[in-house]
Copies of this chain bind each other. A is one copy, B any other.
């Protein structure tokens, strides 16, 4: 059980050789994960793939069929390896070309004469897609069916996600309650497993820490507040029974 109840399910595709080579540390996955949790959408899987048309087509088809939303990051700039828009269109058999509304946005942004062929590629939008506005550098992303195509530059990705936000309906928000106890994970884990089995609507995570003394942070998560509180009470009682002198708690907001 993951405690996510009736939340919509999402996947992400990070497209970028620079992430796979270690040149760049991806930031968009972490940002999206936090934002979707706030919205009440459950992120179930992320794939990081190369700037490769077949890999993009395959990932889009597989993940869009299995989730309510798919978010992509990267590959929509003006260069030869920016192939995401065409690959997403191909995944759904949608025609793609320079669209007037996207071209108008770029024409308004660039100085006269600066909108060259490479930049015009950023106005290639599949038929039937809805634009995702980009207040940072104007070149838009788009939503085709349940796939939201956004930029890889973190500041632009974040701004596009803000633009998209009103179109994303979340389920009940995920509530999270953390308990930090000065107990080694290996002493907690037996009884925690029993608690998890007895509270199927709550997910329990356990994360050892080593700084400031050895201990474990236990995190209970659920969309159901009453179920969460019952699970937390059981975890708290367990920590005290195991001899924890102090349990620091961070309840849901």
Contacts and interface: CB of A to CB of B under 8 A. Distances in A.
A107 interface: no
A45 interface: yes
Contact of A17 (B80, B192, B203): B203
Contacts of A79: 185, 188-189, 192-193, 206
Interface stretch (A28-36, A92-100, A232-240): A28-36
A47 interface: yes
Interface residues of A, number: 64
A189 B26 contact: no
A26 B19 CA distance: 13
A26 B22 contact: no
Interface string A3-36: 0000000000000011111111110011011111
Contacts of A145: none
Nearest to A187: B116
Contacts of A121: 189
B37 A45 contact: no
This chain: copies in complex: 2
B49 A45 contact: yes
B185 A78 contact: yes
A57 interface: no
A35 B50 CA distance: 18
Nearest to A120: B186
B30 A29 contact: no
B186 A116 contact: yes
Contacts of A176: 21, 23
A77 interface: yes
A95 to B, nearest CB: 22
Nearest to A55: B45
A36 B49 contact: no
A204 interface: yes
Given A118-B186, A186-B119, A189-B118, A2 B80 contact: no
Given A79-B189, A80-B196, A81-B205, 10 more contacts: A2-B17, A18-B207, A21-B37, A22-B43, A23-B176, A26-B29, A45-B55, A47-B47, A77-B189, A81-B196
14 contacts: A17-B205, A20-B46, A22-B35, A23-B176, A29-B48, A46-B46, A48-B48, A77-B185, A78-B185, A79-B185, A80-B193, A80-B197, A80-B204, A118-B190
